[in-house]
Amino acid sequence: MLEFIQLLKQRYQSVLSQLSDESNKTAYRHRIDDLILAEAFLRKGQLLNKLPNSPLQLAVVGPTQAGKSTLVNVLLNSTVASVSPLAGYTMHPQGFCNGITISDCSDLQWYFGRFQQIPQEQLPKDRHDCYSLTQNTQNSPFLPDSVLWDTPDFDSIDSSNYREGVIRTIALADAVVLVVSKEKYADQSVWDIMADIEVLQQPTLICLNKLSEGSETLLANSLKDKWQHVRKDEFPPVIPLYYHKELGKPQWPENNLLLKLVNQVNRKKQPRLEQELLQNHWQSWLEPVKAEHSLLNDWHELVEQVLKQGLDSYQRDYLNHPHHYETFQHALAELLNLLEIPGIAGILAKTRRMLTWPIRKMKSIGKKRLHITDSSQEITLLKQIAEHVLIQLADKLLLQAELNRNSQWWKEFSTLLRTQRATILSDFALSAQQYHLAFQEEVENSANRLYLKLQEQPLLLNSLRTARVTTDAAAMASILFMGGIGIHDLVIAPAMLTLTSWLAESAIGSYIGRVETELKQRQLAAVKQSLFNDGMKKSLMALAAQLSSVTYFNISPEQLAQAETQLKERRHGLRLL
Ligand SMILES: Nc1nc2c(ncn2[C@@H]2O[C@H](COP(=O)(O)OP(=O)(O)O)[C@@H](O)[C@H]2O)c(=O)[nH]1
Ligand SMILES: [Mg+2]
């Protein structure tokens, strides 16, 4: 699941970079934030799985200049956090180990992933994907053994650059201290974040900073309104903080406030909360992915439609066409081969030796046999059908691009089809040759069946062997096998036509009809499977994967289905990570 969320996030990020529609941009940015939160929260789950008693994490969050760093120092009873009158001064998550050592936190580097742990004084101004861990050497009367995190703000102009650090720290936190000043408590950004993280159900404290005496009740009431507007859980305790002139910082009112807060931490809820977080967002996260799938479905339907038409014309113009169908005639030529007609048997036997199956041998004699394929009407027709299929498809794509509101998608498919056209056609031609060669075995089988049948009728066999028409047809067949004529010439050769009707009217006429029908059925099945389904359809379906992943999500229905199964299994208590 974690991998899927990461993939989805990456795709959102690249699609966003190409997006022109402003309203979508805002929605996409929001989803990316939620995906970062989910990804980090799943990682936290893995961390807790591995180390259920890993150090407690407390995050101090809030808008710029609210006094977060100042409060961190107050809580640590120290001056380790950097305070500044400049907005956006804290740019990296900075953890302070209180009552524990930095080495107790070695697994945090795994949690932070691509964020690098760097000593606090070396945190670079031009890089945001890092964090620090610093030992608090002072003894704090206010804090339990924990890592206390000072975080960057989430509302200043540059905050988009370091937002991910804030989100990752919040997802890691067992409890949250929200710091707001009287100037900043009403900012939308504060309440957007508080709404987003409700699902993490972290015990929370709100610190109301920079207060002047007497204003706290009014502000606390207003805070409560804001909270209840975005969250359904209980309004947390509000700690008013007053600036202490002599100390030069606010004073923390009560020693065990934070101890009370961390008593409410319940790490056992993690799997359930992860599940809720995923469920809450799933539909909206996957909305553009599913929209692509629906377009993909339309594409599949178009492909099916034109391929069906292609296969129909193969049947109409070849299999069922009285003048074009040549495969059975070919079988008859093979039959003549088996009949050992006096005067011709020698020539036929010679060519026959060269032509004996299996295909391996045929390949070794190479060109001799291939001429039959090359001159085949069937192959020519199949290639024409393939071209026609692609032309029809291109027309349909243009039509979709005109009619549809997702015209960009269809246009891109049009371009893809245009650039891939030659490859698809040459692949098709190659498979057609291969099919044709492979199908010769069926042709020979049919000839064998007819020959065996004739052997049951010695009289018929004999008269056939000695008939003039047979000799003429056999002579044609031998020219065919030696490469003098193409199979189609054989089909229309008068001797062959006479032989065919002679056979059709003979005692085994209906048997011959049956063999022909069965041969055609197998032929249709072979063409459908190897050329239309395995060949053309696969190449056309594969086009979707070539759509640019910068503009499209390109998450396949199979990938999505797999993720949705994992989501379901999580709900049933199986944690597939
Ligand atoms: N007047 C007054 N100033 C404060 C108080 N707390 C912090 N400041 C000042 O506000 C500025 C921003 O504080 P800082 O802790 O860096 O804010 P952060 O951006 O939230 O980390 C600094 O100049 C602090 O000295 C307070 O309670 N009263
Ligand atoms: Mg700060």
In tens digits, the chain (577 residues) has pLDDT values of: 999 999 999 999 999 988 877 778 889 999 999 999 999 999 999 999 999 999 999 999 999 889 999 999 999 998 888 888 887 788 999 999 999 999 999 999 999 999 999 999 999 988 999 999 999 988 888 999 999 999 998 887 676 778 899 999 999 999 999 999 988 777 888 999 999 999 999 999 999 998 877 777 888 899 999 999 999 999 999 999 988 777 778 888 887 889 999 999 999 999 999 999 999 999 999 999 999 999 889 999 999 999 999 999 999 999 999 888 888 888 888 888 888 776 666 666 655 555 444 444 444 444 444 445 556 789 999 999 999 999 999 999 999 888 877 778 888 889 999 999 999 999 999 999 999 888 988 998 999 999 999 999 999 988 888 888 888 888 888 777 777 777 778 778 888 888 888 888 988 899 999 999 999 999 999 999 999 998 899 999 888 888 877 788 989 999 999 999 999 887 666 554 4
Whether 85 is in the pocket of ligand 1, judged by its Cβ within 6 Å, is yes
Q: Residue 75 C-alpha to ligand 1 middle, in angstroms?
A: 14
Partners of 178 in the beta sheet? 61, 206
Partners of 97 in the beta sheet? 135, 147
Whether 67 is in the pocket of ligand 1, judged by its Cβ within 6 Å, is yes
Best residue for ligand 1 mutational test, from 65, 70, 243 (most atoms within 8 Å of Cβ): 70
Kindly list the strands in the beta sheet with 146-150, ordered across the sheet, starting from the edge strand earlier in the chain. Answer: 116-117, 130-135, 94-98, 146-150, 56-61, 175-181, 204-211, 238-244, 249-250
Best residue for ligand 1 mutational test, from 78, 83, 207 (most atoms within 8 Å of Cβ): 83
How far is 2 from 5, CA to CA, in rounded Å?
A: 5
How far is 524 from 319, CA to CA, in rounded Å?
A: 8
Whether 68 is in the pocket of ligand 1, judged by its Cβ within 6 Å, is yes
pTM surpassing 0.85? Answer: no
Q: Residue 85 C-alpha to ligand 1 middle, in angstroms?
A: 7
The number of the ligand 1 atom at minimal distance from the alpha carbon of 84 is 16
Q: Which ligand is nearest to the CA of 248?
A: 1
Name the phi and psi angles at 317, rounded to 5: -90, -10
Consecutive H or E run containing 116: strand 116-117
Joined tokens for residue 353: 């030796």
Q: Kindly list the structural domains of the chain, giving each domain's residue range(s) and its CATH number in brackets, ordered by start.
A: 54-265 (3.40.50.300), 322-546 (no CATH)
Measured in residues, the chain has a length of 577
DSSP 119: -
Q: What's the angle, vertex CA 66, arms to CA 65 and CA 72, rounded to 5?
A: 100
Whether 95 is in the pocket of ligand 1, judged by its Cβ within 6 Å, is no
DSSP per-residue codes, 342-375:
TTTHHHHHHHHHHH-SSHHHHHHHTHHHHHHHHT
Strands 94-98 and 146-150 turn out to be antiparallel
Helix, strand, coil percentages (3-state) for the chain, rounded to 5, are 65, 10, 25
Q: Which residues contact 53 (CB under 8 A, 6 or more apart)?
A: none
Q: Going along 136-188, which residue ranges are E strands?
A: 146-150, 175-181
If you search the block for the tokens 């891939």, which residue do you land on?
A: 420
Name the phi and psi angles at 192, rounded to 5: -65, -45
Consecutive H or E run containing 131: strand 130-135
